[in-house]
Amino acid sequence: MNIEVILANYDFSQVETTKSIVWMAVAAVVALVFSVYSYIQMRKMQKKNRPKASQIDGTIADEGVSFCDIAGSPHIHPNITDLWNKKSEAIKQKSGGFLGIGKSSQVTGYRYYTSFAAFIGNRIEKFIAINFDNRGWIIHDPEKHPSNMLPVNKPSLFGQDAGGVVGNIDIEFGYPQPQQNLAYKQHFDLVSAYPYQSYLVFRGNTIDQPFYFGNSNYMKEMLLWVKRTRVRNDGREQWYASTEARPWVCEIGRTYVVNSQDVKTKVTIGSTVLFRHGVATNGSQISEKDSSAITSSGEDFLSSSLITGLTGAQTGVGTERVAELSLYKSSVISGYFIVEMLFTYNGLQTSQLYEQPILVYSDTTYKDGDGRHYRKIVGLFNDGMDIFMRQSSKNPELITGQTYSIIAGVSVKFTKYNNSWVFSSTGHDINPIHKIREILTDDTAMAKPEVDVNDINFMKAANRIWDEGLGISWAIDEKSCIDAIEELCYHIEAGIRVNRQTGLYEMVLFRDDWFGEDDIHAIAENKIKDLSLEVMNSDDIVNQLNVTYYDRQRIKNSTFSVYENGSILTMGKANAESIDFPYFMNMRNAEIVANWKLKQYSTPAWKGTFTTGWREARKWNRYDLVEITWSKKWQGTILARIMKIDLGNGLNNEVMIDFEEVVPYSGEMNTSIVVDDSTEEKAEPAKPAIGETFEAPYYIAIQNIGQRKIDEELAHNPDVGFTFSTYRRPQWNALYAEITTANVDKPEDGWIIDGNAEFVTSGQFDQLVSRTATQITVKNLQIEDYLNPNDLIVVGTWLSGEFGSYEFMIVESLDIETSILTVKRGALDTIPRGWDNGMYFFRSNPDDGLFSLTEYSADQNVRESALTVTPSSKLEHLGSAPVYMRSRAIRPYPPANVKINNVYYPETIITTNNIVLTWLGRNRLTNQVIDFYDASDDAELNTTYSYELSSENVVLDSASGIVGNTATILSSVLIPNKPHTLKLWSVRDGYDSYQVFEHSFFAESASLILTATTDGSSVTGNTVPVADITVNVDEALRANMQFDGSSISGKSVAGATITIEIQE
């Protein structure tokens, strides 16, 4: 209808003119369209390799691309796909019958077999190991196994009844042009060769046999350990793989150590040259001739030295001659050291063998003009490692006629290794800078042209990360490329940007020295149009970080915490955040970066936004540093990092910049935030903590690391021991006590930091404590945690006795008002003792204090030192105390509830009476906390008892191997009127109990029991026959007193006083 209306009002007289105008308009429109199209194409070409619209501020555009990847040396759960050749086999056991006749077979279970494929992921360069059901790594050794196959022969891996694994595992590395796996092809004839795809094929010993996977139809969990660092996903060598200064900068596989100052002097190097000659073609025995070369003894290797002249030679008739040269080191060198071994030989090299050093720097061979061969090996070794090398050669050179000569020689050079780290032979991580570049350029990820990456900048970052040792490993199924890059940057405290001038991708490491002084921008206050500010971390400062990382060695996620101690004391509380480092494989890396982050979180700093019309600001890039002047808030300038740049629109050309003040990673903290001076007194320096470090009993050890682990350690080394530390807070600002131990017989090992001991509840006895006292008055209580029923406390000191004296007590109650502590005495492997007034006690539950994992043996001279740490100081290491290691964990518990003639601790014993000794047994393995007086008769298996009675250091009687709970000592061995000492202890498998029951008493030759009664006419009483009795009779006696040698009789008036004196 609208069209009709329009036409009705149209002036047709204008038609001709309109036609011409229309054609002109059409032509103009077409020209315009082509112009716009050309312009768009031109802009596309201009924008190639330039930031996208969302990248104007230097950020990376999120293109929604995801990828999967394996890099470093991660642990991987494979994806099991195809299964074939499934079968089961009955396990039969014969039973019944008589003398082998009439036995029947009974099925007791089944063995299960199958062939299957397990896919790993993208390209790998090395298959390190496989772990079934967390039963330990089965290592693939390329020197012992085929490079692409791992033989497995563990038929009892899961236990006698559960079976194990047996067969071969074919390894497909994901080469660009791989061959079909023959075993897999039998299942699926058209199976692809899977380029760039790594997988495993599990089969039997032949390709048509299945793999044995146990006696359960449910397959056990598998964990793979693979490596990819030096190749890319498409098989090409890694970008910027290695340099002379940084070998294999693309991978990081190092163990950090504290190296000794010098290589120890006086080492002995020996060499032996073995010549073999004869004809071996017919299988006859080849005769041998030994030629011992020069032995060098007592050479000095303070920095580097060279030993030469270890050579030998032989001539003779016949061409079938072999020279074998071996080099060995026969004494220990301390620290890390580089060994250069140069072997000289003639003939043809046949074999070589050497102990694998920590790292082989080079292994080269060459030949001089005289036909003599040389082989030079340079490797890194550690103290205690054997240096052994054997080089063989044959086909000696012809001298004259049928006479041949063969020689072999070696020279060796030692050089001290000065770096603070050494390479690890396994567990190489990938350099995260290389991984970020892979994500940018890999065609399976963001697929950016490699020319889009600033290689100079990336090399600088890669070198820095390699120097810092911050390698990562991961195995990810699917992740956004942008998320992956951001997570990697989070791990290493870095950022990635697109440089707005060059359009290239660049890395910025957030380090104090990343930018030079000339690279730092500055803006004057008069060029800032507007500025808004706020203080980061001002309201709720984070002063504790709970850190989670993956521990490759322990095959699990692990956690630890880092603290900003000054902030905790200032705030009076800990404010914690949790951070994750899933791609760090060791605590060292996680701890370094966590401390960096904690400094950022716990330091108040400025953040804000300013706008400026200054043209120079348009040239800045994200993450650049700029010095900002703003006199309204601070004096001088602050150093800030640009976090975002907004260039505005066409109408407003002002630049808006978001910034954050830089908190240095090292050196002093920035003090631009002004706070009032504290009115509190300055903290006092660290003081010594009162406490004890002693060998941990069996119960505390198993509560900390498990009974199975402890029993395995004891089965391997019965004399192994661990230390336990429990200390009292010496001052209000003390944070913890750093416990260090050392074997002083090996000073080269230095002091080992066992860890930090948290302070425990403690106090002092306010009375003399007997061996039977259970209610004790205490004083100077220092409460860290309440003393609850069944808590353990320890009393004692290393100063008491030859090996120190300790007693564990079990808390029953603590009355705060009366300060009376009620306890049970002599718990675990201890016996009640008497304690002086003022003796300290410390709460010592297994989770209190510090249980150290450092292992020591009974024959080692161990000392410890506890260094108090405060927010501002640490106690200087000035002295130490002994820790007596006596194989405590393996020893049986001592006897309990010991009585002598049915009495606890009698002071005297009559020489005419036998001593009847009774006791009860205690069992170390029941893991129960039982005291001395409430023990039941539950001795550990194979436990016997021994006693010894002595007087004035002369043994009067002894016995051993007592099986029961009683022993009788005849009275005839007692010496009248002399002090005696009785000892009783447990024995099991050659080990005496940790403590010995010991009691001293006096042996009396007579004891008068006189009950004097009078009836007015006589007095009666009794004593021993040999007693010397004197009787004084009152004058009022009506009858004489009589003494017949055994009794007294007489008479007296009622009410008379009778005095009788008896002399023994």
Structural domains of the chain, with CATH: 69-227 (no CATH), 267-423 (no CATH), 429-509 (no CATH), 518-661 (no CATH), 690-882 (no CATH), 896-1004 (2.60.40.10), 1013-1063 (no CATH)
In three-state secondary structure terms, 190 is coil
Residues 6+ apart with CB under 8 A from 434: 229, 238, 239, 240, 250, 462
- CA nearest to 140, candidates 180, 110, 170, 174: 170
Question: Which pTM value belongs to this model?
Answer: 0.51
Residues 6+ apart with CB under 8 A from 94: 103, 104, 105, 106
**In a 10 Å sphere around its CB, with 0-12 CB exposed, 13-18 middle and 19+ buried, how is residue 618 labelled?**
middle
- What pLDDT is recorded for position 273? 42
Residue with tokens 């400094």: 599
The secondary structure of residue 835, as a DSSP letter, is B
The secondary structure of residue 482, as a DSSP letter, is H
> Residue 43 corresponds to which tokens in the numbers above?
């802009």
- CA nearest to 959, candidates 981, 940, 983, 942: 983
* CA Rg value for the chain: 43
- CA nearest to 358, candidates 442, 300, 419: 419
What are the 10-residue block averages of pLDDT along the chain, 1064 residues in total?
35 42 50 46 40 51 76 92 91 64 75 94 93 90 89 89 93 88 84 82 93 92 94 91 86 60 39 38 30 33 33 44 49 58 62 53 67 70 54 52 54 59 65 96 92 96 92 92 95 94 94 92 94 84 89 87 79 85 91 89 91 91 95 92 85 88 65 35 76 93 89 90 93 87 80 88 93 94 86 87 84 90 94 93 91 87 89 81 91 95 92 92 89 88 95 93 94 92 95 94 71 55 52 49 63 62 57
- What pLDDT is recorded for position 357? 56
Amino acid present at 339? V
Amino acid present at 683? A
Q: What angle do CA 39, 43, 47 make, to 5 degrees?
A: 175
Amino acid present at 381? F
- What pLDDT is recorded for position 697? 94
Q: Mind giving me the DSSP string for 168-185? A: EEEEE---SSPPPPHHHH
In three-state secondary structure terms, 659 is strand
- What pLDDT is recorded for position 510? 94
CA distance 189 to 624: 59
Strands 576-581 and 544-551: what pairing? parallel
- What pLDDT is recorded for position 576? 87
> Residue 418 corresponds to which tokens in the numbers above?
């000065």
In three-state secondary structure terms, 460 is helix
* 799-837 as b/e: b if 16+ CB within 10 A: eeeeebbbbbbbbbebeeeeeebebbbbbbbbbbbebee
Residues 6+ apart with CB under 8 A from 351: 390, 392
Residues 6+ apart with CB under 8 A from 768: 834, 835, 836, 837
The secondary structure of residue 713, as a DSSP letter, is H
> Residue 782 corresponds to which tokens in the numbers above?
């220092």
- What pLDDT is recorded for position 774? 94
CA distance 70 to 982: 70
- What pLDDT is recorded for position 336? 62
- What pLDDT is recorded for position 606? 93
For 494, other C-beta atoms within 10 Å of its C-beta total 23
CA distance 673 to 50: 40
